[in-house]
Amino acid sequence: MEFGWSTTGDEVVKAFEDQVRGKTFLITGPTPGGIGAETATSLATADPKHLILAGRSQAKIQPLIDDINKGHPSVKTSFIQLDLASQTSVRQAAKDVKGLLGDDKIDVLILNAAIMACPYALTEDGIESQFGTNHIGHFLFGNLLLKDDLVRSRVVVVSSAASLRKFELVEPHLKDITYDHGKSYDPFIAYCLSKSCNVLYAKKLSKMLKHKNISAFSLHPGSIKTNLQGYITEEMRNQAIADFQKEDPTFVAPKRKDLQQGCATQLRAALDPSLGSHSGAYFDDCQVSEPAVHKPAEAHMDEVWELSERLVGEKFDF
């Protein structure tokens, strides 16, 4: 089938049913009303072996688990408590996943959770909350699972079009991830930095995991109205579009997608067996995309990796 802007998650899953059936998937941040939950719902239609749903609150995730259990009772569905803003929680979650899996492995790890453009705050580890949650939390969680050899095939990191800001504008903040204790904090710039680092994390993983035949991808799911945009006002959105257009006069604000369209790109990255040779790629509208702005950012890939290791107090070499 042709994949594009309007492709739905259900269409992608139907096209690759054999890549879902009997497989185990872990998705972070599958809150109902978001693309993580929609991804899980689509996967459930093709009889996966096990869906592991990792989030901060079981109460928020339970309605999704109940829906999947009702519609697809043969699919094993499990909740893992995971607060990406707490490295203690992340480490415990990785241990819990290992115990839950037993002799199994995660076929596809989908790092989907995020916060966006929120007021200034620090994680319990003293890191600006968007960087700490969107990048550092996933960096630590993904790497701990990989270190224990718990991932079989793919890592999919959900980034954003926010990664298309010129890296030279966001990179200086890597020198002070507290944003001078909030004095120089811009909520959207902080979001852009975290999403740029998602892309660099996937690219670095693709190199480090090549010998294990594990692929890593990042992506922009599209512009979708979800609870992720809870802090975004129309004024903020218009200002962000204007800022992008200053850097790239050809930039056009993306059309809104619904949830089914919004989960399709990460599902293609997760399932399409023909993509193995494209490990490290970034996807947009279900297609491999090579934004020019990402190329100069790659020069900072090792810098971001080493900073991330320092912030979590652990080195990773797979």
Distance CA 52, CA 78 (A): 5
For range 10-22, the mean pLDDT: 98
Over residues 185-206, the pLDDT tens digits come to: 999 999 999 999 999 999 999 9
For the chain, helix, strand, coil in percent to 5 are 50, 15, 35
pLDDT band at 105 (very low <50, low <70, confident <90, very high): very high
Distance CA 272, CA 256 (A): 24
Q: Which CATH number applies to 9-312?
A: 3.40.50.720
Mark whether 185 is an active-site residue.
Answer: yes
Residue-level pLDDT at 230: 67
- The tokens for 195 are 């999403």
Q: What are phi and psi of 55, to 5 degrees?
A: -155, 175
**Where are the chain's structural domains?**
9-312
Over residues 17-75, the pLDDT tens digits come to: 999 999 999 999 999 999 999 999 999 999 999 999 999 999 999 999 999 999 999 99
Tell me the pLDDT of the chain averaged across its residues. Answer: 95
Question: Please, are residues 158 and 198 in contact by the beta-carbon 8 Å criterion?
Answer: yes
Strand duo 256-257 + 282-284: pairing: unpaired
Secondary structure of 59-119 in HEC code, one letter for each residue: HHHHHHHHHHHHHCCCCEEEEEECCCCCHHHHHHHHHHHHHHHCCCCEEEEEECCCCCCCC
Is the per-residue pLDDT at 229 higher than 80?
Answer: no
Query: Which one from 120, 185, 191, 201 is the annotated catalytic residue?
Result: 185
Question: Please, are residues 67 and 41 in contact by the beta-carbon 8 Å criterion?
Answer: yes
Distance CA 185, CA 196 (A): 17
For range 227-241, the mean pLDDT: 77
Distance CA 284, CA 108 (A): 19
- The tokens for 312 are 């979590």
Is the per-residue pLDDT at 208 higher than 70?
Answer: yes
Residue-level pLDDT at 283: 98
Over residues 112-144, the pLDDT tens digits come to: 999 999 999 999 999 999 999 999 999 999 999
Q: Which residues contact 314 (CB under 8 A, 6 or more apart)?
A: 140, 143
Distance CA 46, CA 68 (A): 12
Distance CA 22, CA 68 (A): 16
Over residues 244-286, the pLDDT tens digits come to: 888 888 878 778 999 999 999 999 999 999 998 999 999 999 9
For range 304-317, the mean pLDDT: 98
